Chain A
Amino acid sequence: EVQLVQSGAEVKKPGESLKISCKGSGYSFTTYWIGWVRQMPGKGLEWMGSIYPGDSDIRYSPSFQGQVTISADKSISTAYLHWSSLKASDTAIYYCARALTTVITGSDFWGQGTLVTVSS
C-alpha cells in the first residue's frame, strides 16, 4: 500500500527555522516526483515545488523560489520542506503528494498534511 506519512504539527515563532518531512512507503521512492502543496487557512491549494528523489532534480514555483528549500534523503525515503526564517504568513497546512508520472502531472497519493503555525 502506497503511503506518505508527514511529520506532526508545529508551532513556531517568526524568524525561527523549520524542516517538515514526508516519508514514503509501499512504492519505489526514487522513481516518482514528490511535490509540496500549501493550503492557507480557509483558502485553496498552491503548488510550491517538486523533487525527484532519484537524482534530486528540483522544480520550484516562482512564488516560492527562495522562500523554502525542498530536499530528499532517498536512503530513508523521505522528502523535506525547509524554512530558514519563518513568517506569520507561512501559517498553513502543507501537504506532500506523489506525482502520477512526470513532474508535470496530477498527484495520486497525498500525505495527511502538516499544520504549521507561526505566531509570536
Chain B
Amino acid sequence: DIQMTQSPPSLSASVGDRVTITCRASQSISSYLNWYQQKVGKAPKLLIFAASSLQSGVPSRFSGSESGTDFTLTISSLQPEDFATYYCQQSYSLPLTFGGGTRVEIK
C-alpha cells in the first residue's frame, strides 16, 4: 500500500493568513493526488484533484502543487469557513489511501 504522510497534524492560524499543508507519498504517484476538506459532523468535500485541478465551485484561494512525491495544499487567505480538517488521498493505485489529516484551528 502507498503511505501518505501529512504535516502538520494540526495548525493554528488567523483569518487572512496564508496556510500550507503538505502531503508526502511513500512512492511515486505521478499527479494522482486529491485534497478534501471535512468540517465537523459533515462528509468530506473534494477541493483539488489531480494535484492541482480545482474542483468546480471551490474558491480560488485554494490551490494545489506538487514536487516529486511531495504535494502541497495552499489556502492563500484563510477565511472563517475554512476552519476544518484537510485530507490528502492518493488515487494512483489500489487500495486508495488517505493521509492522516491536518486540523486547521482558529488562533
Q: Is A103 an interface residue (CB 8 A)?
A: yes
Number of interface residues of A (CB under 8 A): 23
Task: Give the contacting residue for A62; candidates B46, B49, B95, B98; CB below 8 A.
Answer: B95
Interface range, B side? 20 to 34
CB-based nearest B residue for A103: B94
Of A12-20, A75-83, A105-113, the stretch lying at the interface with chain B is A105-113
Are B94's CB and A46's CB within 8 A?
no
A11 at the interface (CB under 8 A from B): no
Q: Does A32 touch B at the CB level, under 8 Å?
A: no
Proximity string of chain A (84-109) to chain B, C-beta cutoff 8 Å, 1 when within and 0 when not: 00000000000101001001111110
Contact A47 B96 (CB under 8 A): yes
* Chain B positions near chain A (C-beta within 8 angstroms): 1, 32, 34, 36, 38, 43-46, 49, 55, 87, 89, 91-101
Instruction: Give the interface of A toward B (CB within 8 A).
Output: 35, 37, 44-47, 59, 61-63, 95, 97, 100, 103-108, 110-113
Beyond contacts A44-B101, A46-B98, A104-B93: 18 other A-B pairs, Cβ-Cβ < 8 A, are A44-B98, A45-B36, A47-B98, A59-B94, A61-B94, A95-B44, A97-B43, A100-B46, A100-B49, A104-B96, A105-B34, A106-B49, A106-B91, A107-B44, A108-B49, A110-B44, A110-B45, A112-B43
